[in-house]
C-alpha cells in the first residue's frame, strides 16, 4: 500500500510498536505525515530527538478524552490504534481504569474516525483476547468487538475498520525478555511453569502485519499472522545458558499456552496464505463483502501455541533477541 501522501494518526505512538512503525513508514514513505498521539511528553520529546519533526506531529492526549481524540482525527486518512493499558497486574488492580482506556478509549477512536471520515482504521489486539482469563484480555476482546462492529455505524460513510491480533513481541516493554535479562545478570532465572509456550513475533513482523491489513482490509476482519511458537524454557536457555532455574508456579491471570484462533472462530475464518483472517459473523454494513481470497479452515481447527507446526530453536531465539 502506498502511504506517500497519507496523514496517519498513531495512538500510543511512543510505545514499542509505535516506534517501529514510525521507523518503517518514515523511511519508506518520507512524504507521509504521522501524528503521534500519547500522554507522555518526555517520550514524545525523545521521539522528536530521534526522528526529527519534519514528518511527525505531536499530540498530547488520552484516548479516554473523546473531544481530544476527535480533534486529533480531523484530516487523517488512516488511524493505527496501538494505545492500551497492557500490564496484567495493573489492569487487575485498577479494573475500571483498564476499561476506560481499552474499552471506552476504543469506542472514542471509532467514533472520532467515523465522524472525521477517516478511510481506514486498524486496531492492535492480542492473543490474550482469545478465551480471556484476565481483565486485560477481556478488555481487548471487547475492543475487538467494538472495532469490528464499528463498521455497522460507518456503513454510510467511507470509514472501514479492522483489527490485527498477534502474540508476544520480542523485546517489547513488559515482555519476559528484559525480565530474564535482569535475572540472568543476577545468575538465576525464575520460570513460572516449565510447560509454558508462547507465540513469538518481532516488531518488524508486527509492522508488516499492520501494513498488510491496511492494504487488504474491507472492514470487520481480524488479521492473524502465521508465527512460530517457543518454549519458555528454551528462551531461558538462550538468555542464560546453564544458569540455575527456580520454578515459581503459574501467576494469577496467566495461561500455560496461548490461543490465536479458537475452534468456534475457525468456522468463520480463512487461510489467506501469509495470514489467517477471522471474518465478521454479522457484516450488516456490506451486502456482498469483498474479503481477501483464502481457503476455509478445517473443522475444529485451533491455532494454539502448543499445537503450532513451527517452533523456534534455542539458537533461533538467541539470534532474535535484541
Task: Give the catalytic positions in this structure.
Answer: 128
Q: Would you state the cell numbers that stand for residue 216, as one nine-digit string?
A: 487488504
Phi, psi (deg, nearest 5) at residue 98: -65, -40
- Smallest CA-to-CA distance from 38 within 76, 75, 72, 78 is with 72
CB atoms within 10 A of CB 162: 25
- 59 forms beta bridges with 37
Rounded-to-integer distance, Cα 89 and Cα 18, Å: 23
CA distances from 268 to 271, 291, 297 (A): 11, 12, 8
Rounded-to-integer distance, Cα 59 and Cα 66, Å: 14
Instruction: Find the Cα–Cα–Cα–Cα dihedral 261, 265, 270, 272, rounded to 10°.
Output: -30
Q: Would you state the cell numbers that stand for residue 52, as one nine-digit string?
A: 526529527
CA-only gyration radius of the chain, Å: 19
Burial label, 284 (beta-carbon count in 10 A; 0-12, 13-18, 19+): exposed
Amino acid at each position: 500500500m502506498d502511504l506517500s501522501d497519507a496523514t496517519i494518526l498513531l495512538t500510543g505512538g511512543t510505545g514499542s510498536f509505535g516506534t517501529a512503525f514510525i521507523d518503517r513508514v518514515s523511511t519508506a514513505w518520507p512524504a507521509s505525515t504521522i501524528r503521534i498521539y500519547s500522554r507522555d511528553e518526555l517520550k514524545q520529546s525523545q521521539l522528536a530527538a530521534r526522528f526529527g519533526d519534519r514528518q511527525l506531529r505531536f499530540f498530547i492526549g488520552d484516548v479516554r478524552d473523546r473531544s481530544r481524540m476527535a480533534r486529533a482525527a480531523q484530516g487523517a486518512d488512516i488511524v493505527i490504534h496501538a494505545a492500551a493499558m497492557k500490564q496484567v497486574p495493573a489492569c487487575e488492580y485498577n479494573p475500571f481504569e483498564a476499561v476506560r482506556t481499552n474499552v471506552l478509549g476504543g469506542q472514542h477512536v471509532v467514533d472520532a474516525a467515523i465522524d472525521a471520515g477517516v478511510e481506514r482504521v486498524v486496531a492492535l489486539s492480542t492473543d490474550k483476547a482469545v478465551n480471556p482469563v484476565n481483565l486485560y484480555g477481556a478488555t481487548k476482546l471487547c475492543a475487538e468487538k467494538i472495532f469490528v462492529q464499528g463498521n455497522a455505524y460507518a456503513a454510510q460513510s467511507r470509514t472501514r475498520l479492522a483489527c490485527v491480533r498477534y502474540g508476544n513481541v520480542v523485546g517489547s516493554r513488559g515482555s519476559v525478555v528484559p525480565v530474564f535479562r535482569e535475572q540472568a545478570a543476577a545468575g538465576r532465572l525464575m520460570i513460572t511453569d516449565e510447560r509454558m509456550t508462547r507465540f513469538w513475533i518481532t516488531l518488524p513482523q508486527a509492522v508488516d502485519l499492520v501494513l498488510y491489513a491496511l492494504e487488504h482490509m474491507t472492514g470487520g476482519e481480524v488479521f492473524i499472522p502465521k508465527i512460530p511458537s517457543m518454549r519458555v524454557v528454551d528462551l531461558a536457555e538462550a538468555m542464560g545458558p546453564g544458569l540455575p532455574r527456580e520454578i515459581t508456579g503459574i501467576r494469577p491471570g496467566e495461561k500455560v499456552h496461548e490461543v490465536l484462533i479458537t475452534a468456534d472462530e475457525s468456522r468463520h475464518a480463512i487461510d489467506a496464505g501469509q495470514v489467517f483472517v477471522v471474518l465478521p459473523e454479522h457484516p450488516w454494513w456490506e451486502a456482498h463483502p469483498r474479503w481477501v481470497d483464502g481457503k476455509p479452515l478445517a473443522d475444529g481447527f485451533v491455532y494454539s501455541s502448543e499445537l503450532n507446526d513451527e517452533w523456534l530453536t534455542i539458537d533461533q531465539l538467541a539470534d532474535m533477541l535484541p
